[in-house]
């Protein structure tokens, strides 16, 4: 064992500048002086808000998958379809893989991230010892971040539908609006979550 401890060091994920951490009070922020990236922003009560946000996101993702996403009417016929139905529609050959990948990106990965965050955050927020494997769970949740595409999907659909409106009468179902709300909630949750604070509290209780 060496005496050199890296515990007080924080690296900027944007530009790799390394800083030594001084204790940051709730409400204060630490930004990278080179690129301005926000490094630390602990907020009191943030934990509870993030937990509530995560629960809301989980409910919305499930609801958005099963409620009708859109209704298309043409020549007197109308048909409404949910995301889950749409994904399952590709049921033959290689398209099954595509359907599974689509469903994973827009439903299962966002849901898994929410559940992992809750698993990590609930004990931390309630001042309990961290859950088993919490660090690994948090790392996985962070690694999945770029693959969680519910919001991008919603935006993509909206753009695609603008083109279809010439051919048929398209109406957005409740699931579309749920995805729209999800876009904002996911961004909000991402902004609220101070990753440094989470790692710090997982670390502290390990020692
Ligand atoms: Zn930086």
Mean pLDDT by runs of 10 across the 207 residues of the chain is 64 83 71 84 75 89 85 78 76 75 80 90 82 87 78 70 74 84 82 80 67
59 and 110 Cβ atoms separated by less than 8 Å: no
Ligand 1 center to 39 CA (angstroms): 8
Ligand 1 center to 41 CA (angstroms): 15
Ligand 1 center to 18 CA (angstroms): 8
Tokens found for residue 155: 């935006």
**How many CB atoms lie under 10 A from the CB of residue 62?**
14
Tokens found for residue 93: 């050959």
Ligand 1 center to 122 CA (angstroms): 30
Cα 51-201-141 angle, rounded to 5 deg? 55
User: Given this model, what pLDDT does residue 91 score?
Assistant: 67
User: Given this model, what pLDDT does residue 1 score?
Assistant: 47
**Domains, the chain:** 1-42 (no CATH), 46-206 (1.20.140)
Ligand 1 center to 10 CA (angstroms): 11
Ligand 1 center to 63 CA (angstroms): 39
Ligand 1 center to 6 CA (angstroms): 18
User: Given this model, what pLDDT does residue 192 score?
Assistant: 78
Ligand 1 center to 35 CA (angstroms): 4
Ligand 1 center to 5 CA (angstroms): 22
Ligand 1 center to 23 CA (angstroms): 19
User: Given this model, what pLDDT does residue 185 score?
Assistant: 85
User: Given this model, what pLDDT does residue 26 score?
Assistant: 63
Ligand 1 being an ion, which residues bring their Cβ within 5 A of it? 12, 14-15, 17, 32, 34-35, 37
For 140, counting Cβ atoms within 10 Å of its Cβ (0-12 exposed, 13-18 middle, 19+ buried), the class is: middle
């Amino acid at each position: 064992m060496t005496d050199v401890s890296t515990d007080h060091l924080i690296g900027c994920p944007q530009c790799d500048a390394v800083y030594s951490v001084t204790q940051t009070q709730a409400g204060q922020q630490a930004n990278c002086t080179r690129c301005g990236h926000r490094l630390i922003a602990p907020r009191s009560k943030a934990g509870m808000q993030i937990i509530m946000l995560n629960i809301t996101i989980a409910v919305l993702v499930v609801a958005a998958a099963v409620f009708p996403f859109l209704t298309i009417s043409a020549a007197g016929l109308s048909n409404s379809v949910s995301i889950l139905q749409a994904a399952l529609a590709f049921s033959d050959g290689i398209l099954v893989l595509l359907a599974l990948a689509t469903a994973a990106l827009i439903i299962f990965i966002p849901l898994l991230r929410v559940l992992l965050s809750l698993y990590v955050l609930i004990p931390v927020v309630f001042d309990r010892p961290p859950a088993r494997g919490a660090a690994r769970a948090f790392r996985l949740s962070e690694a999945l971040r770029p693959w969680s595409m519910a919001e991008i999907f919603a935006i993509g659909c909206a753009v695609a539908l603008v083109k279809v409106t010439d051919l048929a009468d398209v109406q957005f179902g409740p699931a579309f609006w749920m995805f729209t709300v999800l876009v904002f909630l996911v961004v909000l949750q991402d902004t609220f979550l101070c990753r440094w604070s989470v790692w710090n509290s997982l670390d502290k209780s390990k020692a």
